[in-house]
Amino acid sequence: MTTTQTFRAAVVRTPGGPDAIELVDLPVRDPAPGEIRVRVAAAPVNPVDLAVADGYFHGIGLIDQPDRTGLGWDFSGTVEAAGEGVDLPVGTRVAGLVGGFDRDFGTYAEQLVLSASDVGLVPADLDLVAAATLPLNALTAAQLVDLLGDGGGRSLLVTGAAGAVGGYVVPMALERGWRVTGLARAADAEFMRGLGADFTAAAEPGWDAVADGAVMQDAGVALVRDGGVFVGVQPSAPPASERGVEIRVVGVVPDGARTTGLLADAVAGKLVTRVAGELPLADVADAHRLVAKGGVRGRWVLRP
Ligand SMILES: NC(=O)c1ccc[n+]([C@@H]2O[C@H](COP(=O)([O-])OP(=O)(O)OC[C@H]3O[C@@H](n4cnc5c(N)ncnc54)[C@H](OP(=O)(O)O)[C@@H]3O)[C@@H](O)[C@H]2O)c1
């Protein structure tokens, strides 16, 4: 008799907020050439997951799944099986990100099959829960700062600077020579100064560039000086330009080699990993409710 092995994953069939999230059993599959199967150790809850569960991306036509939509973007775990041509031994500790919206699988799962080139290596000194909080948001920040380029002493306002993306943009932009001010809540002032940036809770217009981690959109563009640069985080909804402000928008793309470097930066103390708390995968709806309340610093992490 043959038995089909299965694993548990959290998905939405009909979106509708946390109550719409279901745990389902899915068949295990072997990795194809170039792929690995990972036993997931930790998967953070990111704002994008709340929007997927709410049906926002179904509503704008970015998700068109016939049966179910996978939840979860980044993860950490260990390699369980490797396809042809992959040089990652079983047991290797990895972390990475699954990009794109329209998919029937995600990282809120006991296991995951993905391209080996999309994962980074987790250094021995970094625990897997902390590592899981980094790939999506540090890689987004790195690719956002690529869009900014070198600062040469110019002024940059990072909105949502105490958030996951903003909190990584700040040190990366400082390293690229920007004069960085973080716009965040009053309670975040100490965190911001700890990153080496100036802090404001209410920004005036006139910045050479704005990096919009708080998704202020038009209100963020209004803070840029005439002819300056705005970098947004919503590729599906870029704000309109005004006064010659150049609009750029980051859409994160998986990059295993760069993720390895970012994970090493965390061990070196250049990047901070922040864990708000851990919950078992079965409590995924509660995790979404906690994040939906707002004001969370660091990531809630699901443990399959
Ligand atoms: N395009 C891409 O590839 C990509 C990749 C990753 C993330 N994203 C998007 O980027 C956005 C940020 O993600 P994230 O993970 O950094 O979210 P996050 O951790 O929730 O951070 C957002 C931060 O903005 C703060 N904030 C909101 N409005 C503010 C205001 N008016 N003044 C000061 N601070 C304000 C929030 O504070 P409170 O919590 O106190 O409200 C929070 O600290 C999300 O929309 C996410 O979906 C896009």
pLDDT by 10s per residue, the chain, length 304: 456 899 999 999 999 999 999 999 999 999 999 999 999 999 999 999 999 999 999 999 999 999 999 999 999 999 999 999 999 999 999 999 999 999 999 999 999 999 999 999 999 999 999 999 999 999 999 999 999 999 999 999 999 999 999 999 999 999 999 999 999 999 999 999 999 999 999 999 999 999 999 999 999 999 999 999 999 999 999 999 999 999 999 999 999 999 999 999 999 999 999 999 999 999 999 999 999 999 999 999 999 9
Question: Measured at the alpha carbon of residue 250, what is the angle toward residues 105 and 291, in degrees to the nearest 5?
Answer: 55
**How far is it, in rounded angstroms, from Cα 300 to Cα 139?**
18
Report the residue among 165, 183, 217 best suited for mutation to probe ligand 1: largest number of ligand atoms under 8 A from its CB. 165
Report the residue among 48, 139, 145 best suited for mutation to probe ligand 1: largest number of ligand atoms under 8 A from its CB. 48
**How far is it, in rounded angstroms, from Cα 63 to Cα 15?**
11
Nearest CA among 126, 114, 131, 136 for reference residue 46:
136
SS3 readout for 9-62:
EEEECCCCCHHHEEEEEEECCCCCCCEEEEEEEEEECCHHHHHHHHCHHHHCCC
Contact between 143 and 62 under an 8 Å Cβ cutoff? The reply is: no
**How far is it, in rounded angstroms, from Cα 292 to Cα 53?**
11
The burial of 123, by beta-carbon neighbours within 10 Å (0-12 exposed, 13-18 middle, 19 or more buried), is given as middle
Contact between 122 and 76 under an 8 Å Cβ cutoff? The reply is: yes
Tokens of 129: 């829960």
**How far is it, in rounded angstroms, from Cα 300 to Cα 289?**
11
**How far is it, in rounded angstroms, from Cα 149 to Cα 156?**
11
**How many other C-beta atoms can be found within 10 angstroms of the C-beta atom of residue 225?**
17
Residues of the chain with CATH 3.90.180.10: 6-133+273-303
Give, using CA atoms, the residue closest to atom 33 of ligand 1.
Answer: 184
Tell me which CATH homologous superfamily contains domain 137-249: NAD(P)-binding Rossmann-like Domain (3.40.50.720)
Q: Which residues contact 238 (CB under 8 A, 6 or more apart)?
A: 232, 247, 249
Q: Which residues contact 169 (CB under 8 A, 6 or more apart)?
A: 141, 144, 145, 158, 161, 211, 213
The burial of 27, by beta-carbon neighbours within 10 Å (0-12 exposed, 13-18 middle, 19 or more buried), is given as exposed
C-alpha of residue 258 to centroid of ligand 1, in Å: 22
C-alpha of residue 225 to centroid of ligand 1, in Å: 22
C-alpha of residue 166 to centroid of ligand 1, in Å: 7
Half-sphere exposure of residue 126: CA atoms within 13 angstroms, side-chain side? 31
Q: What is residue 47's predicted lDDT score, i.e. its pLDDT?
A: 98
The pTM of the whole model exceeds 0.85: yes
Q: What is residue 4's predicted lDDT score, i.e. its pLDDT?
A: 80
| Inter-axis angle of helices 135-148 and 256-267, nearest 10 | 100
* 6-133+273-303 is a CATH 3.90.180.10 domain: yes
Residues of the chain with CATH 3.40.50.720: 137-249
Tokens of 267: 């061990």
Atom nearest to 214 CA in ligand 1: 24
CA distances from 299 to 1, 44, 208, 288, 294 (A): 43, 6, 31, 11, 12
Atom nearest to 250 CA in ligand 1: 1
